Amino acid sequence: MAERYFPDNLPTRIQHYIDGKCVDSVGGETFDVLAPVSNANYATAAAGQKADVDLAVASAAKAFNEGPWPRMKPRERARILNRIADAVESQEARLAELETFDSGLPITQARGQALRAAENFRFFADLIVAQFDDAMKVPGAQINYVNRKPIGVAGLITPWNTPFMLESWKLAPAIASGCTVVLKPAEFTPLSASLWAGIFEEAGLPQGVFNLVNGLGEEAGDALVKHPDVPLISFTGETTTGQTIFRNAATGLKGLSMELGGKSPCVVFADADLDAAIDSALFGVFSLNGERCTAGSRILVERSSYDEFCEKFAARAKNIVVGDPHDPKTEVGALVHPEHYNKVMSYVEIGKTEGRLLAGGGRPPGLETGNYVAPTVFADVAPDARIFQEEIFGPVVAITPFENDDEALALANGVKYGLAAYIWTQNLTRAHNFAQNVEAGMVWLNSHNVRDLRTPFGGVKASGLGHEGGFRSIDFYTDQQAVHITLGTVQTPKFGAAATY
């Protein structure tokens, strides 16, 4: 592989971080980590097993039960959270370089990830200081107030798409709430996660509050979910894995927050600003290499605008620059791993039997090695087609026409997923009614994927369980204890006070 693909000081060993120390697996188990542009093995990572998870959980539990972190005042925790944000921002260039190398994400799209990760820590630093809990009064009779208490050790299982930033989505609120954590990053992309230990040490986070165990989901992830001393699991990933976690967490009645798969519709009505809709739809499905949970991978277009939309969309898709992720001109880089590349390419072949191929359909010319897929556009896709129904998680999109609002809504809701939806129309009445009726946890009206951190993030149906974001994240990582006090005479029925015979 060409020298330019290797960042300086690239580690060849990636270890766990347990109780303030970088360590190998107890049994010495490892797995290979591949570079997406070549599929060459560039590092060996410690493969966590039950024994390693046990050590990490013991460290986190000790820090929670005996350490200072859960008992610190919100302002004290907030100061450390802001120092974490400062440390993240100071490593922006390095982080982008590592994230691009490890995930195949284009460098121009990786550069903003550090700033977004830092903002997550600043946001929750502000939130815990400003937060107040309810007090309810009945004058002269009763007062009730709420104690909010961190729950304990949180198990965090994160995906391989934009891994560092998505790790921050879970780490920031969990730590801000006073919990301690065990992070299990995705096995395809462990490189940027290895930066967290140094960042937290530099910021002064107490030892044991943060622990990291690398490894496969069926080994390290499974052990974390089943561990009796981990009362909370926050997971982002594929739906069938979420179902397995749901089953395994049931025995321990664990708290679960899960953001799962998506097959989000982008609905374009004839009265929409067509050029703006095309810009958004292209970005929504092809940015981040199409490996994004909220991708608008089904585009539904009103019949009268359908041919024009398809023609313009396909022409733009053909012009998308695919290539070296480190090249600033690149718009779509290499998919994360050969296993995932093979999955995406299998759907491309399926799509050739289910739709009319307008663009892409294979490996781009001149890129004979690495996990490259040309942006692929299928039109005239029926709603029962697999490429319409199933999550592909790559640069592949299905376009389907509709005749009226009712058909558009039926098509939008006609899959098992319900994560996001994008609606393009100038008719405000239609926009608000459609948003109300579409089965999606998040809706963007005449907008692309931008999000306020105060708003809930999550899906419905097979796209998730629970919501995070803003106070909802704090709610997940804390118990709310109601305290009731009677003012004045206690009016209690006097059981057993009557005369006996």
- Residue 99 and residue 91: Cα distance in Å, rounded? 12
Do 16 and 24 contact (CB within 8 A), yes or no?
A: yes
DSSP 294-324: T---EEEEEHHHHHHHHHHHHHHHHH--B--
- 166 Cβ contact list (under 8 Å, min separation 6): 158, 159, 236
Q: Which residue(s) pair with 484 in the sheet? A: 144
Strand order across the 41-46 sheet: 13-14, 41-46, 30-34
DSSP 480: E
- 346 Cβ contact list (under 8 Å, min separation 6): none
Q: How far is CA 55 from CA 120, 197, 406, in A?
A: 28, 16, 55
- Residue 466 and residue 456: Cα distance in Å, rounded? 9
Structure token digits, residue 430: 């239609």
CA angle 69, 74, 77 (to 5 degrees): 50
- 393 Cβ contact list (under 8 Å, min separation 6): 161, 261, 290, 291, 292, 295, 340, 343, 344
- 315 Cβ contact list (under 8 Å, min separation 6): none
- Residue 148 and residue 26: Cα distance in Å, rounded? 37
Structure token digits, residue 2: 């060409």
> Residue 212: which H helix or E strand, with range?
strand 210-212
β-pair type (142-150, 135-138)? antiparallel
Buried b (16+ CB within 10 A) or exposed e, 151-177: bbbbbbbbbbbbbbbbbbbbbbbbbbb
Secondary structure (3-state) at 199: helix
- Residue 365 and residue 491: Cα distance in Å, rounded? 83
Structure token digits, residue 500: 């006996």
Secondary structure (3-state) at 360: coil
Catalytic residues: 259, 293
- 444 Cβ contact list (under 8 Å, min separation 6): 420, 421, 422, 423, 450
β-pair type (180-184, 210-212)? parallel
